[in-house]
């Protein structure tokens, strides 16, 4: 197993532990916004470095991503004092079979109509680098740098 | 009390509840990075809309802020399902008396030499807008827009 694969596997384990992330995007005027998002289930053993989210086509974040693909995902688990920063590039994806593969009933909180919602889309985030901190005094550990 | 003051007071209460935030900055190459930071104690009753952090002058975040003042602060309290996004403008501040006012012993984790550290600086973040979510299915509530 290469170092990169090991890193990705460890990263996948950390991320899977934290249900919601703060997805940060840059707006047209340069201001930076974040919002909580549910990371869709990933395959920890064969993680390929792409994270998936459901999002509305007309949302502010989709608009930001169409203009500037750079995003950050901040994962915080305060009770374990564990923090992860993922930097990557986002794409809007309208692949119906991928949506079917990833759909879970808990998504009904934001998409009551489910996959029938004409506004539904996926956001994929290809990880470019990641850092973790796993105790307050710990130095940052660079995990993935691609 | 104006609406703005009420908003700021509520925001101050939410932020005071969450010890560490993820501070997001934009790098020279457009990539976006975040790192956990300890928000310094604020006056909830008379909150003026500026948040304070201790940081090293030579750190990556200080470098980013010198080039682009826009930052985001993501506050996550997963156990209460509460999430806050703060957008603002950051400045590097080297005011010794402000440092003395804000210094607390817990900062020794990152600044073992305390205020004698020649690398020590403050980052001030002037809040420009803030949004909160206080349950997973809740709609975002715009709290402060300046
Ligand atoms: C829980 C936690 C809180 C932290 N608080 C601070 C802080 O208040 N100030 C600081 O300079 N670094 C703090 N750090 C370290 C930073 O996260 C980061 O590693 C360091 O500031 C360098 O960041 P940079 O290279 O992105 O500038 C903290 C780390 C953890 C895990």
The predicted-structure confidence for B9-39, as pLDDT tens digits, reads as follows 889 999 999 999 999 999 999 999 999 999 9
Instruction: Give the atom of ligand 1 at the shortest distance from the alpha carbon of B55.
Output: 11
Residue B1 reports pLDDT greater than 60: no
State the average pLDDT over residues A113-130: 96
Give percent of chain A with pLDDT exceeding 70. 88
Instruction: For residue range B75-120, list pLDDT tens digits in order.
Output: 999 888 899 999 999 999 999 999 999 999 999 999 999 999 999 9
State the average pLDDT over residues A98-102: 96
pLDDT at A45: 86
| Separation CA A81–CA B89 (nearest Å) | 27
Residue B142 reports pLDDT greater than 60: yes
What band does B53 get if pLDDT is binned at 50, 70 and 90? very high
Task: Please indicate whether, in this complex, the C-beta atoms of B33 and A76 are within 8 angstroms of each other.
Answer: no
Q: How many domains does chain B have?
A: 1
Tell me which residue in B30, B70, B87 faces A70 most closely, judged by beta carbons.
B30
Handedness of CA A3, A146, A30, A93 (dihedral sign): negative
Suggest the residue from A72, A80, A89, A144 to mutate for an interface test with chain B (most B CBs closer than 10 A). A72
Q: Which residues of chain A have a CB within 8 Å of the CB of B82?
A: none
Q: Which of A100-104, A134-138, B102-106 has the lowest mean pLDDT?
A: A134-138
Instruction: For residue range A21-50, list pLDDT tens digits in order.
Output: 999 999 999 999 999 999 998 888 889 999
pLDDT at B5: 63
| Separation CA A111–CA A102 (nearest Å) | 13
A43, with CB counted inside 10 A (0-12, 13-18, 19+), is exposed
What band does A10 get if pLDDT is binned at 50, 70 and 90? confident
Higher pLDDT, A89 or A41: A89
Q: Which residues of chain B have a CB within 8 Å of the CB of A76?
A: 20, 22, 36, 74, 76, 78
Q: What is the CATH number of the domain that holds B9?
A: 2.30.110.10
pLDDT at B117: 96
Distances (CA, A) of A30 to A23, A27, B16, B112: 16, 5, 27, 35
| Separation CA A127–CA A84 (nearest Å) | 12
User: What distance in angstroms lies between residue B114's CA and the mean position of ligand 1's atoms?
Assistant: 15
pLDDT at B44: 87
Domain that holds residue B10: 3-145
| Separation CA A18–CA A21 (nearest Å) | 7
Residue of B35, B105, B125 to mutate, ligand 1, most atoms within 8 A of C-beta? B35
In sequence order, what are the residues at sequence separation of 6 or more whose Cβ sits closer than 8 angstroms to the Cβ of residue B101?
A: none
State the average pLDDT over residues A80-85: 92
State the average pLDDT over residues A83-93: 97
Q: Please answer whether residues B22 and A74 qualify as being in contact, where contact means their C-beta atoms are separated by less than 8 angstroms.
A: yes
Q: Which residues of chain A have a CB within 8 Å of the CB of B77?
A: 78
pLDDT at B6: 62
What band does B138 get if pLDDT is binned at 50, 70 and 90? low
Radius of gyration in angstroms for the set of CA atoms belonging to chain B, rounded to a whole number: 15
pLDDT at A2: 59
């Amino acid at each position: 197993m290469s170092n990169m694969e090991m890193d990705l596997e460890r990263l996948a384990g950390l991320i899977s532990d934290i249900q919601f992330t703060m997805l940060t995007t840059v707006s047209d005027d340069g201001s930076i916004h974040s919002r909580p998002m549910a990371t869709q289930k990933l395959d920890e053993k064969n993680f390929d470095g792409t994270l998936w989210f459901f999002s509305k086509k007309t949302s502010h974040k989709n608009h930001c991503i169409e203009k500037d693909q750079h995003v950050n995902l901040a994962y915080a688990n305060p009770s374990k004092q564990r923090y992860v920063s993922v930097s990557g590039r986002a794409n809007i994806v309208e692949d119906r079979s991928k949506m079917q593969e990833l759909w879970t009933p808990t998504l009904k909180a934001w998409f009551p109509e489910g996959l029938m919602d004409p506004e539904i889309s996926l956001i994929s985030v290809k990880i470019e680098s990641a850092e973790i901190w796993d105790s307050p005094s710990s130095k940052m550990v660079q995990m993935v740098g691609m």
